[in-house]
Amino acid sequence: SASQSVTVIGLGPMGQAMAAAYLDRGYRVTLWNRTPSRADALVERGATLAATAEEALRANELVVLSLTGYDAMYAILEPAKAAVAGRTLVNLSSDTPEKARAGAGWVTELGGTHLTGGVLCPPPLIGTADASTFYSGPREAYDEHRAALEVITGRTDYRGEDPGLAALMYQLNMAIFWPAITAYWHTVALAAAHGIKATEIAPYASENFAGMGHFIDFYATRIDAGNHAGDVDRTSMGLASMEHVVHTTADAGVDTAFPEAVHDIFRRLAEAGHGADSYSRAVELMRS
């Protein structure tokens, strides 16, 4: 049936995994990518490589975009824009909420339907039941294509009609992910300076991250209530502790840029007179 076919445009690691997941489920898959050779393995498995982006659009009503950002969508679809009308574009390219809103507007003006998506898993987990994706845009389009969307990730999280919402939720997750993984790289570099391998640190790092759920829940309630009391942690304690991290890093000859950026937040908070408050007051400092 027509619903069992899909076009995938953009064959980075994510787009390739998505196309493979559709082939696994028996979908007829049409592909297009700026660098055509990235389609080779998928074509061998039965996918069709379109000669042009326009041909790829015309092949199916449902079109999945997996690109570096929205600028790539314009680069690819501008010459093919006559074929956007009547199609549903599921844009899983990451970008700002503003770019997602403008992109949705552009597609809608051309007579197409735009669903914004933000995928929360790496390529190896595409096609699995537990992985999840944020969506926003026309509810009708989300409902109509739900089964096809659930091929990409088994769980979908529809946030609302505003095309910026899925992008925003994705960015809120990335704002945690990139600094957190950078903190891990820093720890590994610091450990390595002392001859300790990443695999030796891994269980401790995992336990540390797993414990974050406690802090997130504990502080969420207090932050929403405007409570930054220093009954559990004090900024002055954190400032000293973070100073110890910076010095341990410097003593090991490891780059201090990352811990110094965090230390600077403690310092500014203390200098603003909040040494006796919880470090959660940093939220207010950042907002002002």
Three-class SS of residue 204?
A: helix
Residue whose beta carbon is closest to ligand NDP = 12
Query: Of residues 39, 42, 64, 72, which one binds ligand NDP by CB under 6 A?
Result: 72
User: Looking at beta carbons only, is 15 or 112 nearer to ligand NDP?
Assistant: 15
Least separation in angstroms between residue 190's CB and ligand NDP is 25
Token pair recorded at residue 120: 């929360």
Q: Are 9 and 53 in contact (CB under 8 A)?
A: yes
CA angle 175, 282, 221 (to 5 degrees): 80
For residue 164, how many C-alpha atoms fall within 13 Å in the half-sphere facing its CB? Answer: 6
Stretch 87-106: interaction string toward ligand NDP, x if CB under 6 A: -----xxx------------
Residue 74 sits in the site that holds ligand NDP (CB under 6 A): no
Least separation in angstroms between residue 90's CB and ligand NDP is 12
Least separation in angstroms between residue 36's CB and ligand NDP is 8
Residue 67 sits in the site that holds ligand NDP (CB under 6 A): yes
* β pairing state of 132-136 and 113-119: antiparallel
Least separation in angstroms between residue 10's CB and ligand NDP is 4
Q: Which of residues 35-54 bind ligand NDP (CB under 6 A)?
A: 35, 38
Helix locations, 197-256, DSSP H: 198-210, 212-224, 235-251
Token pair recorded at residue 74: 């314009």
CA angle 32, 140, 154 (to 5 degrees): 60
What residues line the site for ligand NDP (CB under 6 A)?
A: 10-15, 33-35, 38, 66-68, 72, 75-76, 92-94, 119, 122-123
